[in-house]
Amino acid sequence: MVVVLFFVSIITFLLAFAVPGDPAKSIAGTHATPEVLQRIRTELGLDQPIYVQYGQYLWALVRHASMGYSYETQLPVTTAILQRFPAIVIVAFFGILPGLAVGLGGAVRGPPRDRQPLRRRPRLHVARPAREVQVSGRAAAGPPVRPTPGGACDSLGDRFGTVRSSS
């Protein structure tokens, strides 16, 4: 589970960089000076390589349980999630409820009558004599196969001249 959480953290961290635009511009606005943008990038650590930024993110997540700050709300991400937690629970509950009702209903009722072949008529395919299996196998395979004196088989292919006798 730790490995899965590690890869989820990598994916979510990289998705933040997939969004077009500069986070410094979205914080400062479109009319910000280059000095202000550079100061914001330095404060947020956006001027460092991506692996250093990820290391700092992971360290803050493990050490302080901090997921960073939201650029939009200027609140810690943990606080923003906790503020919306009641809505998350309601959506999850009503999303799971229909599937739970259908699953429990099917488990209580059981399979429909027409899908219970063993109750309608038993099928005995297990212990058949060898001769019966051979006959039913020939019927399923097609025309009968008769050995010829040379060792080749008289089959459909032999009738068309594709299989030759070795004598």
Has residue 164 got a pLDDT over 70?
no
Token code pair at residue 96:
């799971």
pLDDT bracket for residue 123 (50, 70, 90): low
* pLDDT on residue 137: 47
Has residue 130 got a pLDDT over 50?
yes
Residue identified by tokens 């004598």 is 167
- Do residues 143 and 156 make contact, with C-beta atoms less than 8 angstroms apart? yes
* pLDDT on residue 22: 81
**Which stretch of 30-44, 82-96, 142-156 has the lowest confidence by average pLDDT?**
142-156
How confident is the model over 53-69, as pLDDT tens digits? 899 888 888 887 777 77
Q: Which amino acid is at 44?
A: L
Beta strands in the chain (DSSP E): 146-147, 153-154
pLDDT bracket for residue 4 (50, 70, 90): very high
* pLDDT on residue 115: 59
The residues facing 153 across adjacent strands are 147
Domain limits of the chain?
A: 2-83
* pLDDT on residue 144: 56
- Do residues 69 and 76 make contact, with C-beta atoms less than 8 angstroms apart? yes
- Do residues 154 and 162 make contact, with C-beta atoms less than 8 angstroms apart? no
CA separation for the pair 17, 43 (Å, rounded): 17
CA separation for the pair 107, 100 (Å, rounded): 10
Which of these, 21, 19, 6, lies nearest to 54 by C-alpha position?
6
Entry pTM: 0.46
| Helices 50-64 and 2-18, packing angle to 10 deg | 130
* Number of residues in the chain: 167
First to last CA, the chain: 69
